[in-house]
Structure 1
């Protein structure tokens, strides 16, 4: 497979996953802002921190819903906005058209300019519907790939890109909750704390899955364990790491060679296997999350080096 085609497939999946993850971040922000005192805690700033773009908003100035919807959903100049991600995913798809099924292409092509026509006021008014539209587009694309794409190297690059992006967003959502949204340790365990932790589960569509594992009790330790270490939940860091290892091992077989990325993913799995929820909190959730983000960033760079992305 040409390295350019592999890169297009890898980043197509990353952009689609990022669009959905950003939509989920907006949902989480909305849930957080209905709590008492949310305005004084500047909850929307936590959302832009999770998206890695706090530098776009002046320090000391409250970040509003309008600011976030404009920048994270509609802004064509923000390379990580939902609008930009969907446009880039489609551009990658055009460059790798022969590797996609008709259903995959249609899921990317249908309504691809939808967000171009929205003014900020309309987007805010219809935000829940727009978020659902984004999630449906991404899930349709994912389902089309699962149902019809050949299980060749192209499929492995696609799945590896999606798993890497998903692991990063789960880590960022955990960082929002513990490090950004709740610096006041004296309210840990209170009603607001409980609501914020369950909001993380809602943002990752993990409430019912969590309930099957832990029943009706919600604690920070159990939720962290579930989202970091549960190997059965498809948005957990451990599950994503396992998927990355599987896809990279297959790619090593297709190409009859291995690179630094293969060592890094094994290191990442070893780190995850060495943790438990108590250990995560002893080390500090923020510190553990930052370590995970650095490792996934390194992994993405090494995948690009190993397979000669441009």
Structure 2
């Protein structure tokens, strides 16, 4: 497969996964902003959380000045001038899909094309009329439909592997950033953090909202009996291989996919993925908390970025 084709397939899936992750992020922030606050912040600060997670705070302030709830939501949802918005991500995904139209199935193309056309209609209608929660659910639903069309119709060849590669590296990064943001919001920094430190009502709703945003709340209630806390949530989202959006699950998939790609030029990416997977496989939650959850996450996020860079060098750059 040509590196340009692999790159388009990889980024098509990354942008689609990013759009879904942004919708999940916005949904949890918007829902929490509507709840009574406890004095550690207000609803506007909660809505601004995606700016900190995605590193777009400076871009927003440069364009819009002060934080404003309605402008913040539009900035992340439908702003065509913001390259990090859901609208821009879906547009970029469609452009990549169009470039590899012959390597994806008709069902996949029709889904992604219809999604882009529909979001253009939503943008014309306006977010205030469409509804924020309804919009986030729509984005997630369209992502699920595309994933279903992909799994149900495409051959299990290199095209399928590069699509999955983009999905899982984007998903792993999002899980790390969302977990770190929630942890900081609750001011649970340092090695002394434990379940007792976030036993308040605010802690319960923050952790529950994070679990729901990552479609892991039902799994949490099946695994743990206690109310959600830093220790249990971190263990679930970082170390359990049976949670679809956990870091461990994503790295296992990345390791398997990279190992299945032919050619010797991918060995650096394969080696790094295997090392990161082995590190998680033999790490316990106590080791992470002893180091400090915030510190551990901020050490692992650059490692994941490094893996993405090595994948790009190994497979996606023209020789």
Report the TM-score when normalising by structure 2: 0.89
Structure 2 alignment gaps of length 5 or more: 190-195
- Does the CA contact (< 8 Å) of 2:115 and 2:142 recur in 1? no
SS in 1 for 2:228: coil
- Does the CA contact (< 8 Å) of 1:17 and 1:165 recur in 2? yes
Give the alignment of 1:78-89 within 5 angstroms.
78-89=82-93
- Does the CA contact (< 8 Å) of 1:42 and 1:62 recur in 2? no
- Does the CA contact (< 8 Å) of 1:104 and 1:144 recur in 2? yes
* Equivalent of 1:46 in 49, 55, 70: 49
Higher mean Cα deviation, 109-118 or 128-137?
A: 109-118
Q: Return the alpha-carbon distance in structure 1 between the equivalents of residues 212 and 115 of structure 2.
A: 26
* Equivalent of 2:311 in 281, 295, 303: 303
Give the alignment of 1:66-215 within 5 angstroms.
66-118=70-122, 122-125=126-129, 126-179=131-184, 181-183=185-187, 188-215=198-225
2:252 matched to which residue of 1? 242
2:271 matched to which residue of 1? 263
SS in 2 for 1:270: helix
Aligned residues: 306
1:2 matched to which residue of 2? 2
Deviations 1:279-298 (A, max 9, x none): 22221212111222101111
Deviations 1:85-111 (A, max 9, x none): 111111111111111111111110114
1:227 aligns with 2:227: no
Q: Return the alpha-carbon distance in structure 1 between the equivalents of residues 306 and 11 of structure 2.
A: 16
* Equivalent of 2:280 in 272, 288, 292: 272
SS in 1 for 2:116: coil
Report the TM-score when normalising by structure 1: 0.92
Structure 1 alignment gaps of length 5 or more: none
Give the alignment of 1:9-24 within 5 angstroms.
9-24=9-24
RMSD: 2.2
Deviations 1:92-145 (A, max 9, x none): 111111111111111101141333344599303411111111111111111111
- Deviation of 1:165 (Å): 0.2
